[in-house]
Amino acid sequence: MPVVPETLLNCPSMNIIIEDAESLKFFTGEGLWSKIATEGKPYAGTALACKAAKLESVGKFNIVGYIAETKQFINLDHGRGKGAAEISA
């Protein structure tokens, strides 16, 4: 029977949040943004976060995993919201 390392059982939790790629602010809900990652609205998965971000008036966005205990970010996905305007040359 495989043994699970004790450190794996104590791994910190990760919140999946939306980050504005240009301002580096985090979506808090209701169209509001914050510079504080812990105020970011958590999503159950990257697909849900991506779907929500595409409906917001934001240009480029990142879906990030944020581990509050270690203050680390993990880039999970990226895209463009409905506020992304293409610049014509």
3-15 pLDDT, tens digit per residue, is 545 554 455 689 9
CB-based burial label for 80 (10 Å; 0-12, 13-18, 19+): middle
CB atoms within 10 A of CB 21: 17
37, pLDDT greater than 80: yes
Q: Give the pLDDT mean for 42-55.
A: 95
Q: pLDDT-based confidence at 1, cuts 50/70/90?
A: low
Query: pLDDT exceeding 90 applies to what percent of the chain?
Result: 67
Average confidence score pLDDT of the chain: 85
Where b means 16+ CB within 10 Å and e means fewer, 27-61 reads beeeeebeeebeebbebeeeeebbebbeebebeeb
pLDDT at 83: 74
Tokens representing 82 are 């409905």
